[in-house]
Structure 1
């Protein structure tokens, strides 16, 4: 199968996944996203350029005194259409995993999206939410705070999320303290007798 066909099928599978997600069919969404990933495997910048697709953010080459190694490093940093699709697919898969309450998988998918673009606000949010749902409030708060720095316009809604998970964390802490206190009181009564 040629590069263009793979890219076309991957795009169609991603769109089918998006539609299934909107319809609330998480298994179908995840299946389509996985199939899209399979078609995207191995499609790198060189394969795309061979069919006439340039990187969307590629700048015209400039001779600014860079060494060949620096120019090669810059070329590797350029995002391709495949990179952008992978970022979106992994972020969307994280959303599916959150709907399924598969917190570890949601974090894994969000991290893969963030590997493609560390400023992906949706992936950061999904990672923070999954961490919080697992009970890792301090870790999730750090990710939420990072998200606030990268996306200041959503500060109010992010603060609301932090406050929500802080209340949950405080309630768990209170319950654990109560259990521990009861356990310690029970132990001291046994040793006094």
Structure 2
């Protein structure tokens, strides 16, 4: 029987291989194979996020007040969910894209629960994947017709991620155009319904 530490290392090693296989499949355009690799990696990471040690050795930060925001397993899990979100966007599976984006964000939230509020804000500000995940979530929400939710996320991102403002603005423009088109279609259907109702009443009279 393997020692606990060795068992963790073994599972981490396999999870890395599965994730890398998923990454390669995604780059090759094989989205289904990528998702399979990511799902298998998640299975090996289950439970490890609570067992991995935290701390930043040699960082010069007071370890009594600061902790490493994420363990290695948590960091990998967050990236996997973010990549799964990208896969679902490729397949136009918007509901699953939102779900996996939320899972990626949940990994961050769980990792930050033991931190002081100021430390948590710092960790989120330094997190590079978080803006990407939120951007993908907004895109998926907009595609499902939840424009107001998507707009709020993107407007907040413009404050947090100033370097990507042109990309965010482009997505906002695209979603607004989609929303207007949806409204036109809805109004046309509603107008047709009213006309049918008027015609029906006229026949009854």
The reply to whether TM is greater than 0.5 is: yes
Q: Secondary structure at the match of 1:135?
A: coil
1:174 aligns with 2:184: yes
Q: 1:183 to 1:100 in 2, by over 3 A?
A: same
Counterpart pick for 2:151 among 141, 152, 175: 141
Counterpart-to-counterpart distance in 2, 1:3 and 1:125: 33
Structure 1 runs (4+) deviating above 6 angstroms are none
Counterpart pick for 1:8 among 7, 13, 19: 13
Which residue number corresponds to residue 34 of structure 1?
39
Which residue number corresponds to residue 164 of structure 2?
154
Counterpart-to-counterpart distance in 1, 2:188 and 2:39: 45
Q: 1:60 to 1:40 in 2, by over 3 A?
A: farther
Counterpart-to-counterpart distance in 2, 1:15 and 1:57: 27
Q: Secondary structure at the match of 2:180?
A: helix
TM score, norm. by length of structure 1? 0.83
Counterpart-to-counterpart distance in 1, 2:201 and 2:46: 64
Counterpart pick for 1:112 among 79, 103, 117: 103
Counterpart pick for 1:48 among 38, 47, 52: 52
Q: Verify the 8 A CA contact 1:94 1:107 in the aligned structure 2.
A: yes
Structure 1: segments with no counterpart, 5+ residues: 65-70
Q: Verify the 8 A CA contact 1:56 1:79 in the aligned structure 2.
A: no
How far apart are 1:84 and its partner, in Å? 0.6
Counterpart pick for 1:127 among 126, 137, 143: 137
Q: 1:103 to 1:83 in 2, by over 3 A?
A: same
Which residue number corresponds to residue 81 of structure 1?
72
How far apart are 1:182 and its partner, in Å? 1.9
What is the root-mean-square deviation of aligned Cα atoms in Å? 2.3
Which residue number corresponds to residue 67 of structure 1?
none
Q: Secondary structure at the match of 1:82?
A: helix
Q: Secondary structure at the match of 2:48?
A: coil
Structure 2: segments with no counterpart, 5+ residues: 109-123
TM score, norm. by length of structure 2? 0.79
User: How many residue pairs end up in the alignment?
Assistant: 179
